[in-house]
Amino acid sequence: MPTLFRLDASIRNEGSVTRAIADTLQSALVSDGADISLSRREIGLSPLPSTAWADAVFAPHTAPDQRTASQTSSLQLATELADELIKADAYVFALPFYNFGVSQHFKTWADIVLTDPRLASGVESPIKGRPAQLIVARGGGYGPGTPRHGWDHGTAWYRRILADIWMLDLELVECELTLADVNPAMESLRGMAAENLANAHALAGENGRRLAGRLRG
């Protein structure tokens, strides 16, 4: 039975756009007849320790009998996180856009995973070519012609890690203007925001059904 690995990085449970779109994709995948096992990692509501990366970096250069308890546990955590990726057959990464950049929780997760020699930068990726969905939501508009075009410093970095370093077969589902309903200054954009959200859910459903066919072989 193929395994789907899902990673959620939103700090919100209720009202999270990335979670909702990922749910749509996952539901379409299952309803289309794919018999899958789900492996899920929650890093937004249950963050990884911020010190784990440094401990995992320095631990291999420290004699095992001289490692601190935190170094040992951080190495174990890096192995656990890497195993989750390597054992999966397909992936869904539901990643928010905070303060014009990447989620700190995803950055911590990726940094720790990259300390595992199997998934380090510059090695042949053991998950190369496997299908992956990247779901990104942004509160405002950052496309060409908008006042903040070029301010999205997150999506490209997500691509660098997932597609360029780990060489996943990555597809992007993105949604903008997600704050229009709660920001009075964006009231005129609410119709566009609703259309954008509906299109993102539609694309997620389409991608989920296509992924189901791919996993069935």
Examine the pLDDT at 145 and tell me if it is beyond 90: no
DSSP string of 27-81, one letter each residue = HHHHHTT---EEEEEE-SSSPPPTTHHHHHHHGGGS-GGG--HHHHHHHHHHHHH
The confidence score (pLDDT) of residue 178 equals 92
> Which string of DSSP letters, residue by residue, matches 109-146?
HHHHHTTSGGG-TTSPPTTTT-EEEEEEE-SS--STTS
CA angle 9, 91, 8 (to 5 degrees): 10
pLDDT higher than threshold 70 for residue 88:
yes
**How far, in Å, CA of 36 to CA of 7, rounded?**
16
Whole-number Å distance between alpha carbons of 17 and 180: 13
Residues 6 or more apart from 121 whose CB is under 8 A from it?
Answer: 114, 165
pLDDT at position 133 over 70: yes
Q: Residue 183 corresponds to which amino acid?
A: N
Indicate the pTM of the whole model.
0.95
Domains detected in the chain: 3-216 (3.40.50.360)
Per-residue pLDDT at 50 exceeds 70: yes
Asked if residue 32 has pLDDT above 90, the reply is: no
Asked if the model's pLDDT at residue 58 lies above 90, the reply is yes
Residue-level length of the chain: 217
Q: How confident is the model at residue 216, as a pLDDT?
A: 83
**What mean pLDDT value characterizes the chain?**
94
What is the Cα Rg of the chain in Å? 18
Distance from C-alpha of 70 to C-alpha of 201, rounded to nearest angstrom: 41
